[in-house]
Every structure is written in C-alpha cells, then in structure tokens.
C-alpha cells in the first residue's frame, strides 16, 4: 500500500525499449540508478517496463550508449493528473464560477407575486415587505417568516392575514384584507343606500327613499340603490333615512395551489436494547455511550426463565424496541390533489361569505412546475345595501 502511494505521488511511466542491445541499456541504467518495475520481454525482442517519472531523463544517456529507443506508452500518477487539470484551467475556473453562481442565485428570491389586494395597492405592500426584510435578491434561509408577517400586518392595518410561499426563485404572497363593519346609523340621520358588491340584481326591497335601480340591472360598489333626498313637485327637498337592500347574483374566481409531493412519516423499528431483570431490579446488558435518538413508540418484550410451565424464576430477559419516525417524500396523485383543493377552497369561500347562498360552482385543475393549481369559479346570491350619511 505504501509503495503504491509513493508511486502515485511521484508519477509512473510505462515505457517500451527497442534496439540492438537492450541488455546493455538495462546495465547502464542500473549504474545510473534507474529502477525498473514489471519488466516484460516480448517475442519481437522488445521490452516494456515501468519507471518513476523522475528517471525518464536519466535513461537518455543509457539509450545513446546502447543504441536503443525509448517510447512512453502510458502516464499515470498525481503529477500528470495535476498537469492535465492545469492545462484546462480556464475550463476549471469556469466550472467553479458557474457552480458558485448557481449556488448564489438558487437560494434567493428574484420576484414577488401578490394576490388578494383590493383596497391596498401592490406598491404599498411591496414597500412594507421590503422594510420587513422580504425583497428581491434576499437569501431565503435568512428570512424570519413570522416576524415578516407580523411587521407587514402592523404597518398596514387594512390587512388581517397573509401567507408567503416559495416556489423556485419566486415568493407568492396572498393577503386577506379586513372587512369594515358597517356602522348602524340612527333612523333620524338622513342617508343613502349604496351597493358594496358587483352583480346583477335579482330581488329589490326599498322601504324608504327613492329607488335608483331596478331588477335586472348590473350594479358595482358605490352605485346608489336608494336615495334619501326626495324632491316634491313643488321643489321642496326632504332628507330621509333611506332603507333598502338588494339580492344580487355575484361571481368570483379563486385560485390555490398545493405541492405535488408531501412528506409522510412512517414508524421504523430501531436496533433493540437488552436488559436483565432480577426480581424488581433492571440491569442493562449494553452500555449506551451516546444520547438516545428521539423515539415515537416503544415496545417491550420480556422472556422469563421457566423451569416448569406453571413456575417461573424472577429472572427475565427484556428486549426494548424504539420506533423512530422517518419522513419520506410521497407524490400526491392528481385525483387526490383535485379533491383536496376543492374541499379547501369551498370551505374558505363559505367561511368568507357566511351569509351568501352558493348557487353554482365549477372547478378546474392545472399543473405547474412542482405544484397543482386549482381554479374555482363560484356563483352566489348575496345581499347588499350600505347606509351612507348625506353630507349637507
């Protein structure tokens, strides 16, 4: 082993010797201190042998004296390997720089995609995310996700919740805005009734005020349903507290995604440990030098010494099995992903619109790199009618 290691460090040459007097060649080489290994004589009078690379120059003197020629057949060893690498140093430097660039780019965020913004502008949200630490070019491993979410919600009081998911080099931010609770106005306060939803009017109920819409009209947020300003035929203006509400048919499109793989934990039994039970005392039969791994389940078996089936000695061999949890990636089937996305998205819609009536819905499953994307289109009937004081 030591000889082989020395040969690899110094470098080995496999040479072929041809000439009129190979014996004289080997004699002169021996006088000059050249050592040959694995010498073989062939039928045509040629010789092959192995020498150290440092002895190649000293063989020239012996070759001139004996009239022989020496041809190098093969080179091996660290010096020749290093020389080959150095001759391709540009390629080596390029490969190292490419690997460094890939490593530097792969763990960073290079674009941010935002969904769910209505009253909050995307520019305002991007500025809040940048101040909290999430911006293009930042390394993902250094992002404190919990503090980023908390800081953004504190900076923008219109937000109630947000999620941040990473796919590739992108960060996908989905926000939920706070729903303003309408302030109930006193009946003596003059007001108009406006819409806060977009849809088609199915039913209309106007108790007081002047109706500004009719069944079948399309309304948008801010459109007036009932006006509290009444003008008589004589031109007299009366301000009323308008009371009205409309049932509108609305349409929404929701999107959600889940990864194509998930981590599934399975219990795997570890190496059993043995102990001897003598009476009420327990003696381990093996020495535990390292800390025991966290275990999920423990199973203990005891075998007592029984000289007779109806009698046993208070001596037993105890065998303990500790099962650990091992997480392994498991692919999610398209059918399972579709059912899971439908269930989650429908439950979120019903939770976000508890007073709405779900009339119809359709679901479409799409696939992207590493994720299933669900697109849910729903049709609902909602009640709208927001009281707005009349500014005199």
Q: Where are the domains of the chain?
A: 2-83, 111-177, 193-246, 263-330
> How does residue 306 score in pLDDT terms, banded at 50, 70 and 90?
confident
With 70 as the cut, is the pLDDT of residue 180 above it?
no
Q: What is the mean pLDDT of residues 254-266?
A: 81
With 60 as the cut, is the pLDDT of residue 256 above it?
yes
What are the angstrom distances between the C-alpha of 178 and each of 116, 157, 385? 11, 8, 19
b/e for 349-368, b at 16 or more Cβ within 10 A? beeeeeebeeeebebeeeee
The SS3 assignment for 295 reads coil
Please list the alpha-helical segments (H only) found in the chain. Answer: 2-10, 22-31, 59-66, 78-87, 89-106, 122-132, 145-155, 334-352
Q: What is the pLDDT of residue 204?
A: 93
Q: Which CATH number is associated with domain 2-83?
A: 3.30.70.260
Q: What is the pLDDT of residue 285?
A: 75
Say if CB 25 and CB 49 are below 8 A apart.
Answer: no
> How does residue 244 score in pLDDT terms, banded at 50, 70 and 90?
very high
pTM check: above 0.85: no
With 80 as the cut, is the pLDDT of residue 80 above it?
no
% of the chain with per-residue pLDDT over 70: 87
318 beta partners: 275, 302
Residues with Cβ within 8 Å of residue 307, at least 6 apart in sequence = 313
Tell me the CATH class for 111-177: alpha beta
Q: Is 33 or 257 the better-scoring residue by pLDDT?
A: 257
Q: What is the pLDDT of residue 303?
A: 83
């Amino acid at each position: 082993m030591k000889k082989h290691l020395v040969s690899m460090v110094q470098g080995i040459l496999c040479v072929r010797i041809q000439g009129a007097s190979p014996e004289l060649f080997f004699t002169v080489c021996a006088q000059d201190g050249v050592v040959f290994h694995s010498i073989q004589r062939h039928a045509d009078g040629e010789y092959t042998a192995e020498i150290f690379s440092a002895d190649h120059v000293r063989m020239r003197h012996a070759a001139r004296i004996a009239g022989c020629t020496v041809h190098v057949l093969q080179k091996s060893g660290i010096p020749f390997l290093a020389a080959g690498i150095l001759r391709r140093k540009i390629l080596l430097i390029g490969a190292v720089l490419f690997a460094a660039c890939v490593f530097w780019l792969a763990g960073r965020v290079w674009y941010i995609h935002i969904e769910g913004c209505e009253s909050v502008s995307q520019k305002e949200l991007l500025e809040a995310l940048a101040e909290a630490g999430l911006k293009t070019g930042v390394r993902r491993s250094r992002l404190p996700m919990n503090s980023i979410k908390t800081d953004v919600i504190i900076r923008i009081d219109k937000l109630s919740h947000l999620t941040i998911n990473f796919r590739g080099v992108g960060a996908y931010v989905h926000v939920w805005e706070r729903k303003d609770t309408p302030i109930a106005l006193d009946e003596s306060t003059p007001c108009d009734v406006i819409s806060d939803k977009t849809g088609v009017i199915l039913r209309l109920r106007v108790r007081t005020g002047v109706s500004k819409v009719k069944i079948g009209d399309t309304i948008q947020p801010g459109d007036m349903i009932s006006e509290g300003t009444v003008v008589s035929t004589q031109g007299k203006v009366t301000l009323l507290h308008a009371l009205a509400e409309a049932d509108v048919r609305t349409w929404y499109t929701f999107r959600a995604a889940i990864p194509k793989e998930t981590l599934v934990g399975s219990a795997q039994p570890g190496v059993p440990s043995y102990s001897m039970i003598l009476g009420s005392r327990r003696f381990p039969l093996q020495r535990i030098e390292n800390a025991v791994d966290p275990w999920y389940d423990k199973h203990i078996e005891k075998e007592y010494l029984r000289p007779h089936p109806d009698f046993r000695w208070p001596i037993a061999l105890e065998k303990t099995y500790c099962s650990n949890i091992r997480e392994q990636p498991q692919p999610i089937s398209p059918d399972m992903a579709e059912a899971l996305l439908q269930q989650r998205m429908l439950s979120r819609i019903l939770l976000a619109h508890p007073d709405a009536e779900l009339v119809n819905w359709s679901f479409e499953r799409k696939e992207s790199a590493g994720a299933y994307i669900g697109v849910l289109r729903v049709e609902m009937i909602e009640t709208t009618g927001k009281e707005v004081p009349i500014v005199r």
